[in-house]
Structure 1
Amino acid sequence: MSAPSRGVPLEPSPTGREHLVTTTETERPPLKAETRQHLRANVLMLIAAMIWGSAFVAQRLSLDAIGPFLFTGLRFLLGALVVLTLIVCVRRSALAELSKREPGGARELLGAGVLLGMVLAASISLQQIGLQYTKVANAGFISSLYVVIVPLLGVLFKHRTGIGTWLGAALAAVGMYFLSVNEQFSILYGDWYQLAGALVISIQMMLVGRFALRHDALMLALVQFVTCGLACLVVGLAIEPFSLAVIARAAPTIVYGGALSVGVAYTIQVVAQKHAAPSHAAVIFSMEGVFAALAAWLVLDETMSARALAGCALVLAGLIVCQVMPAWQRGHERLPRASS
């Protein structure tokens, strides 16, 4: 039998024989649970990024049939209906818990959801308007600039942001630059709307990270979506043409954008960010730009150059760095120190 490692104690067993107490034995159970939790959150956020990226195509196609505010309002109300169905069928306990809450707790949930909904309405409306004047790939890149904005906002709110997240954010930002901006640095009129939307969605992500820890995720998502949908619908009815024929033409994009992009993806965001720092989540969500470019190539025949493919690789590298570096650092910190 090999000699035990230095600095690792021996512990009596119930049989009276000593056995080696390793770092793995004493620390593995909580680490396993924590790792599974973070891995599940990361996978969920990646799925959300894929749905959001492909939804850019639906948003672009919808502009041929319906105004941006009406589209946003209808799809978010449809998304709210999906979430309500989930709550009734799967999470009835959330409704029961809400009914047992003190009035102040219910008001706090309502206030948080309304605030998130108004911020989300502003961001998505800017994004949808900008899509009229830019390419889908450009929209995917610029909208994903929150990968850089969120860590900066996190510093202002005194959030700890590790070197892995900063490096991953930098790689993702450079990658998205190569993905969507050509050698002449072509900037379209709609890109400015996308940039403004990226700033607003960064604020929304910070708020989600704050409120998701205090409230039931599905109930918070429901209030957020209803608020966003109603706000945009009111504006759309006031300034955009509306008829049943318009709704019928836009129905496929409304269903995709509402049921999947809102009902599924945004709910995933609220659930997953319970177990992820906002800056870390932002790097994973930055894959949205890659999926947007791929979807535009497949559906709209927007070609991808070698430069754009290199950008995809850099974004993926940023995602991997964001995952691997913090895990490596945690493992390094837990290694037992040799006795002197």
Structure 2
Amino acid sequence: MTNSKLFADLSLLLVALVWGATFVIVQNAIDLLPPITFNGIRFLIATMILGGWLLLFERKQLALANRKIFLSGFIIGVWLFFGYATQTIGLLYTSSSKAGFITGLSVILVPLLSLLLLKLRPTKNAIIGVLVATVGLYLLTMTDISALNQGDALVFLCAIAFALQIVFTGKYSSQFPTLFLTVIQIGTVAVLSLIYSFLFEDWTLAFQPAIILNSSVIIALLITSVFATALAFFAQTNFQKFTTPTRVALIFATEPVFAAITGFIWAHDRLSASAIMGCVLILAGMIFAELPSASIFYKQKKKQENTLGT
């Protein structure tokens, strides 16, 4: 693996760690503030941060503004918003454990959609890694088994949306300036989230001092806006240039692992034996997908033999 790919994978793993680690504080915040309203404010702050940086230090990127970059950023942003919205609504009707597993199915959907939309064929090791990680997701998240319901269907739409966000980020990230594309993407999520909250949620709660100035809400907004949104999506957009959508999906499948670990440390959640085994399998699947395939070893061996024969 080249240094750029290794650094990209480690950076994306850090993104998954941030998302998993912030799960607990987000849960505390949305007990007070409607979830899409929270996301709207979170993404708006992140847009202002990155947008301000763009205007102050990277203004030359604005010279590249055209219809294509706005459309590309909008497409990525729409799928990201759709993923958050369907997941949030779905959680009203299903358990968080089932939602976690179904959302994690994006790890299977990404290679399928990459093949259909980008003509990218995953390696055999990547396919095996995806299957192993999926079994791990099941063991980690499926603490209850019940009949499927409308919430599960909505969360499955969320998995499709998140998978498409990864696929289209992979498609467009190498075509446009990273910062400009990221600002358009998260700005789209901010606008759509605020429109949704205005139409379907009690958005006026965001203007009540007792709620918006609550320490849980302020801490969650600051941490998620800066680290889990601005820096995280900038990193994804930037580093997907050096890796494949399937590998990104596998790396992001570690998010519930980090969520489980931080929940154990901070919220004193208990980890069952199956959950621990699930964490191990997810990590094993990610590592296995990174291993060179037998065909690569064969080609390298033949190359060495030909070199020695000359």
CA distance in 1, matches of 2:218, 2:260: 23
Partner of 1:145: 105
Shift of 1:115: 1.6
Partner of 1:214: 175
Listed as ranges, the matches of 1:1-340 within 5 Å are 35-88=2-55, 92=57, 94-99=58-63, 101=64, 106-132=66-92, 136-157=96-117, 158-182=119-143, 184=145, 190-241=151-202, 242=204, 243-245=207-209, 246-249=211-214, 250-326=217-293, 329-335=295-301, 336-338=304-306, 339=309
Pair 1:329–1:49, CA change in 2 (3 A): farther
**Max Rg structure:** 1
8 Å CA contact 2:129–2:289 kept in 1: the answer is yes
CA distance in 2, matches of 1:265, 1:329: 35
Q: Deviations over 1:31-81 (max 9, x none)?
A: xxx710100110011001111112322332222111122111111111212
Question: Relative to total residues, which structure has the larger helix share, 1 or 2?
Answer: 2
TM-score normalized with structure 1 length: 0.80
Pair 1:45–1:186, CA change in 2 (3 A): farther
Identity of aligned residues (%): 27
Pair 1:182–1:235, CA change in 2 (3 A): closer
Aligned Cα RMSD in Å?
2.4
8 Å CA contact 1:177–1:311 kept in 2: the answer is yes
Instruction: After the TM superposition, list the runs of 4 or more consecutive aligned residues in structure 1 that deviate by more than 6 angstroms.
Output: 186-189
CA distance in 2, matches of 1:301, 1:195: 29
Pair 1:142–1:302, CA change in 2 (3 A): farther
CA distance in 1, matches of 2:223, 2:229: 9
Shift of 1:131: 4.2
Q: Deviations over 1:82-118 (max 9, x none)?
A: 32344356xx3x421432x3xxx52211111112111
Pair 1:155–1:128, CA change in 2 (3 A): same
What is the identity, as a one-letter code, of the residue corresponding to 1:98?
L
Partner of 1:14: none
What is the identity, as a one-letter code, of the residue corresponding to 1:337?
E
SS at match of 1:325: coil
8 Å CA contact 2:98–2:144 kept in 1: the answer is no
8 Å CA contact 1:137–1:292 kept in 2: the answer is no
Partner of 1:23: none
Shift of 1:213: 1.2
CA distance in 1, matches of 2:90, 2:219: 21
8 Å CA contact 2:46–2:229 kept in 1: the answer is yes
8 Å CA contact 1:56–1:140 kept in 2: the answer is no
Pair 1:268–1:136, CA change in 2 (3 A): farther
Shift of 1:187: 6.5
8 Å CA contact 2:73–2:181 kept in 1: the answer is yes
Shift of 1:268: 1.1
What is the identity, as a one-letter code, of the residue corresponding to 1:201?
F
- Structure 1's unaligned 5+ residue stretches are 1-33
Shift of 1:275: 0.6
SS at match of 2:249: helix
